[in-house]
Structure 1
Amino acid sequence: MLLEQLSNAFGPSGHEDEVRRLLARALRDRVDDLQVDALGNLIAFKRGTGPEPRLKVMVDAHTDEVGLMITRIEKDGTLGFRALGGIDDRLLMAKRVIVGRDRLPGVILAPPIHLTKPEQRKQVIKREQLVIDIGATSREQAKEMVGIGDYAVFATRFDLLTDDGWRVVKGKAFDDRAGCAAATALAEESYAVDLYLSFSAQEEVGLRGAGVAAFRIQPDLAFALEGTICDDAPKKKDVSPTTEMGKGPAITLMDRTFIADRRLVRLLMDTPQAQSLPYQFKQPGVGGTDAGAIHRSRTGVPSVTVAVPCRYIHAPVGLLSLQDFDNLVALMKATLHALPEKWSTL
């Protein structure tokens, strides 16, 4: 399964090479052209079957995951680091990580409970105070194993938890390897529109790659495919979750970086009704996606984000429903087929 390979891959912001290679291998026989730009975006082009002029449709998914960068090597051989992307300090202690070019195993330090005072146990240890232990006993030994600027990611492996109903899987980096796998699946079919699949770099550190890709492609409209926040666990207060697992792909109406084009939202709403596909809306105002960079490219690009709900996003391990994933792919395929006829009437 491509999603499993992508989830297990090593690909923090700025070092997405392994993810890009997997995607290129999966796409090479399905598209007409593959290019990698100077920033590390992989752009796949699938020529449309309709008469010219054809709509140029960009479907974006980012390849990078939240991770860590090694910034110092201590005298005792442990490694100081900084976060790449939004990681909660509370989630770091005692987590297994993979470090550097040689993919070394490591563990983020955690003080034993026996040596901490009760009041200390109530405090979050900030990441600046944490280090990664790779088993080295000196700075000299550690320098032979890793270097300043090397990367680290969480050491989580993909696994199937339930094989019926929602078909729940666990893994890391579903934001946005779920979007990458879904975008790749779109290339299985041909469409009347010209399709540009953009697998963009460095989203987690500022939506950097997608804006560059959009400037190059000059699309008429764009879809950003994501793995998004799902906080449907039981709560003390009766409040609506951001999204819910098992309720289908989530359409973003607005987040911190953009307001979705209402015509595309309407098209996404009409298509699942015609296809009997479930969908939901993400609670507005939360997070940001590559659509925030794409919609401002050149003279503006009508854009919308559609996502798979993922529990425990930006954490060492996340969960998603393969049923939701399959419904996202089905929704996007149906929407792309409907575009030539529907777009001019919206």
Structure 2
Amino acid sequence: MLTETLKELCALPGVSSCEDAVRDYIRAITAPYADRSYTDTLGNLIIEKKGVSPGTKKVMLAAHMDEVGLMVHTITEDGYLKFRPVGGIDRRVLLGKPVLVGKQKLPGVIGLKAYHLTSGEEARSIPKLTEFYIDIGADSREEALRHVSPGDIVCFDTDILEFGHGFLKAKAIDDRIGCTVMVELLKEPLPMDCTFVFTVQEEVGTRGAFGAAFSVTPDIALILEGTTAADLPEMESHQKVCLPGKGPVVPYMDGGTVYDRELFELLRTLAERGHIPWQTKEFLSGGTDASAIQRTKEGVRVAAISAAVRYLHTPSSVASLEDCQNILILARRFLQAVATME
């Protein structure tokens, strides 16, 4: 069930600021299990569910709904679309990628000057973002404007594929895996009252998480995420960050947060006692919604569990389905442990 939910969530468009389809899907499938569900001003979906006991701590779980993508800013006289990235995207992955443009999901493809027309120097360099364009098959600006407007969001269009030894290839695994784990937890009886926050605009500066944490005001927050794997052959071992298939990633620190030491130790102990394979980051990079949540009001104790994801922020990210299942198990045991905290 977790795999099917993850596939369905990854298939939905949800570029930062346009998370509507993801939010609507999650709201619909969690409705039978929620005690209260609402959307705040920024668009975060906040779901409250009562547990066996209220618990002594107010606990919030967070995962972001948004994904990286593009935004149209200019339409040329020839009918091509110029764009800017929404979130951190490596422009090396853009050429030739199919995309869907705007609310109509207009198909297009990302283009660039043909290789046989490039100079030797151009062939050896990474093209500038301004050199790319989206081809929607229009033959003029006027025709393109009938379907597209500046400000339209562009989402990658990619197939979802299970392959190899239990791996999944899809767009938006970061962070539909976190959303999937929270959906599965919502279906279960909980040991204590919990608030689940499906956040918006994480990829453009953890904007949704700050507002949500300010209103929820948790004592403890568990962030469920996808994180860079970088386990490629040419990388030195200390640069590989983490490895898909080697278990959930439990970070003690990243580019935006130093995680609560006691909660980090709790997650590590739960994993080891439960014979759940786990790892931490060998190279500190990236950041999560924890950076915004931790600094809210008087401060919040934060912990995180992540999936190691290859080719993060590309149309074809790769993660281990076994890791995803183990994240769910570890998150479940974390809630059981927190429920007994004094």
Question: Normalising to structure 1: TM-score of the pair?
Answer: 0.95
Q: Please say if residues 56 and 193 of structure 1, whose CA atoms lie closer than 8 Å, have aligned partners that are also in contact.
A: no
**Structure 1 segment 50-69 matched on structure 2, within 5 A:** 50=53, 52=54, 54-69=56-71
Q: In the TM superposition, what is the alpha-carbon distance from 1:146 to its structure 2 partner?
A: 0.7
Q: Does 1:40 align with 2:43?
A: yes
Aligned to 1:118: 120
Quote the offset at 1:284 in angstroms.
5.1
Which deviates more from structure 2 when the two are superposed, residues 104-113 or residues 15-24?
104-113
User: What is the aligned-residue RMSD (CA, Å)?
Assistant: 1.3
Q: Which residues of 2 match residues 243-254 of structure 1 at below 5 A?
A: 243-254=242-253
Partners of 2:91 and 2:14 lie apart in 1 by 20
Change (3 A) 1:280 1:40: same
CA shift in 2, pair 1:185/1:53, >3 Å? closer
Aligned equivalent of 2:21: 18
CA distance in 1, matches of 2:55, 2:333: 21
1:23-68, CA deviations, whole angstroms, 9 ceiling, x for partnerless residues?
A: 1112111121111011000011111211x56421111000000000
Q: What residue in structure 1 maps to residue 229 of structure 2?
A: 230
Matched to 2:159, the amino acid is R
Distance in 1 (alpha carbons) for counterparts of 2:265 and 2:235: 34
Q: Is the 8 A contact 2:238 2:282 kept in 1?
A: no
Q: Which residue of 2 aligns with 1:7?
A: 10
| 1:332 equivalent in structure 2 | 331
Q: Which moved more, 1:7-16 or 1:267-276?
A: 267-276
Contact 1:251 1:306 survives alignment (8 Å): yes
- Cα deviation, 1:180-231, whole Å, max 9, x if unaligned, reads 1111111122223211110000000010001111111111100110011011
**Cα separation, 2, equivalents of 1:158 and 1:47:** 35
> What's 2:108 paired with?
106
Per the TM alignment, residue 312 of structure 1 is displaced from its structure 2 partner at its CA by 0.2
- The gaps in structure 1 that reach 5 residues or longer are none
Percent identity over the alignment is 40
1:89 aligns with 2:91: yes
Q: How many angstroms apart in 1 are the aligned matches of 2:177 and 2:235?
A: 30
Task: Report if the CA contact (8 A) 1:250-1:309 is conserved.
Answer: yes
CA distance in 1, matches of 2:114, 2:300: 53
CA distance in 1, matches of 2:116, 2:310: 32
- Within a 5 Å distance, the mapping from 1:278-293 to structure 2 comes to 278-283=277-282, 285-293=284-292
Q: How far apart in 2 are the matches of 1:84 and 1:118?
A: 31
- Aligned match of 1:141: 143
Change (3 A) 1:236 1:333: closer
Note the alpha carbon deviations across 1:280-314, whole angstroms, 9 max, x for none: 10235300100000001110000012101110001
Q: Which amino acid aligns with 1:333?
A: R
Secondary structure of the 2:303 match is strand
CA distance in structure 2 between the partners assigned to 1:239 and 1:213 by the alignment: 35
CA shift at 1:240, angstroms?
4.7
Cα deviation, residue 236, structure 1: 5.7
Which residue type is aligned with residue 286 of structure 2?
Answer: G
CA distance change for structure 1 residues 238 and 197 in 2, over 3 Å: closer, same or farther? closer
Number of residue pairs matched by the alignment: 339
Runs of 4+ aligned structure 1 residues displaced above 6 Å come to none
2:64–2:199 Cα contact (<8 Å) kept: yes
Greater CA drift, 229-238 or 250-259: 229-238
Contact 2:171 2:314 in 1 (8 A): yes
Indicate conservation of the 8 Å contact 1:252/1:284, yes or no: no
The residue type paired with residue 311 of structure 1 is R
**Counterpart of 2:192?**
193
Whole-angstrom distance in 1 between the partners of 2:48 and 2:324: 23
CA drift at 1:116:
1.6
Aligned partners of 2:120, 2:315: CA distance in 1, in Å?
Answer: 26
Q: Determine if contact 1:210/1:294 at 8 Å carries over to the other structure.
A: yes
State the secondary structure of the residue aligned to 2:85: strand
Query: Which one of 63, 77, 89 corresponds to residue 75 of structure 1?
Result: 77
Distance 1:215 1:92 in 2: 37
Contact 2:55 2:339 in 1 (8 A): no
Structure 1 match to 2:180: 181
Amino acid paired to 2:242: T
